[in-house]
Chain A
């Protein structure tokens, strides 16, 4: 079955500390992988995506994720978080087969940055 698993439902961290949000995908999920961020009471915004090429992808606000095929992982990292990074983060994979334009989502990780 196609699945995307986010291993932590909540991650509390202090401001300026590093953070890693973990994501694993089943091998049947397409190797198109995404991280979306959802701020309170808002919709989802694309943070970064991996389609092909370099396995390390970066966002404009300091997050990065590395595609690891052997470990079927796409963990999201940031070396120093800010209060404004408090949000829920969703890992998602492009669906192989006929369901074009759709994603399989993980259950989300709530990142809480404390001062």
Chain B
């Protein structure tokens, strides 16, 4: 069972470079989201999507773009990487609202911006 798959697992970027973190789920989930995890901060929501073609901002959206052209994929784009974006990124999906459904997380992507 693949579940939620993130790539790459590790990435080093130079300041100003752009990149895309890929996320795919094979569970036909409507809801997908991106979180970043920083020491002592827990997980903070970056962007989320409630279905194909629909995205919205979370708590910390600045510096990131997303799109949702298919149900399966939800890529996260860094247009001009900054050292403050050094973090671990988690993609997540669920079949419905957090009230009644389990959220499944990917294995994480470790990003370092130098």
Q: How many residues of B contact A (CB 8 A)?
A: 30
- Is the Cβ of A101 less than 8 Å from the Cβ of B40? no
* Residues 56 to 89 of chain B near chain A (Cβ within 8 Å): 56, 58
Interface 1/0s, chain B 18-59, versus A by CB < 8 A? 000000000000111101000011111100101000001010
CB-based nearest B residue for A108:
B42
Contact for B96 among A43, A90, A100, A107, CB less than 8 A: A100
A99 within 8 A of B: yes
- Is the Cβ of B105 less than 8 Å from the Cβ of A44? yes
Residues of A contacting B35 with CB < 8 Å? 105
Residues of B contacting A46 with CB < 8 Å? 102-103
CB-based nearest B residue for A96:
B99
- Is the Cβ of B106 less than 8 Å from the Cβ of A43? yes
- Is the Cβ of A43 less than 8 Å from the Cβ of B105? yes
A49 within 8 A of B: yes
CB-based nearest B residue for A103:
B98
Interface 1/0s, chain A 21-58, versus B by CB < 8 A? 00000000010101010000111111001010000000
Known contacts A43-B108, A99-B48, A101-B50, A49 near B102 by CB under 8 Å: yes
- Is the Cβ of A107 less than 8 Å from the Cβ of B41? yes
- Is the Cβ of B107 less than 8 Å from the Cβ of A102? no
Residues of B contacting A99 with CB < 8 Å? 45, 48, 56, 58
- Is the Cβ of A105 less than 8 Å from the Cβ of B98? no
A12 CB to closest chain B CB (Å) equals 17
Known contacts A9-B40, A43-B90, A107-B41, A102 near B98 by CB under 8 Å: yes
Since A32-B100, A41-B108, A99-B58 are in contact, a sample of 7 more A-B pairs with Cβ atoms closer than 8 Å, ordered by chain A residue number, is A43-B90, A90-B43, A99-B45, A101-B50, A101-B96, A106-B42, A107-B41
Residues of B within 8 A of A (CB): 30-33, 35, 40-45, 48, 50, 56, 58, 90, 93-94, 96-103, 105-108
